Structure 1
Amino acid sequence: MASNSSKSPLAALSGLLCFVLVVGGVSGLLHEWLGWIRFMGFVRFLIPNGYEIYGYVVMIALGVAVGVAGDALTRRAGR
């Protein structure tokens, strides 16, 4: 069974979005809890003031969901 190793543009975009959301959320949580520098500081503009912890947790969960959806899209296209 031959598989096509190239990903569709939508699957590649979902992978990038997954990476940005998960890494940005983890970076934001580390900054909030430990005061470390922000790795992806631009994501702080996506979170409302006063809801930083909740917002970063939601961002991580959304990133994981986008990653799972993109993986399912890639698997479905490979059939």
Structure 2
Amino acid sequence: MPTGPTADGTRELDVRTIDGEPFGEIMAALDELDGGETLVLVNSFEPEPLYAVLARQGYAHETERAGDEWRVSITKA
């Protein structure tokens, strides 16, 4: 489950703690976003297959890598 929004409208979902396929949790977290909020997805690898799904559903993303941690910031396009 994602954290609640911070003062800047950011929610975080660390999928490294999810046992099994995290796709359903990611999509549920995106459905909970209010206008102007950002979901930051934290993962141990770059979730490249997710990018096409996000684009089809009207989301934009920015990806950063810090060591072995990937952070994908997702917003409504």
Q: Same fold (TM over 0.5)?
A: no
Q: TM-score, structure 2 length as denominator?
A: 0.27
**Which of 1 and 2 has greater Rg?**
1
Task: Identify the structure with the greater strand proportion.
Answer: 2
Q: Tell which has more relative contact order, 1 or 2 (C-alpha 8 A, sep 6+).
A: 1
Task: Identify the structure with the greater helix proportion.
Answer: 1
Q: TM-score, structure 1 length as denominator?
A: 0.27
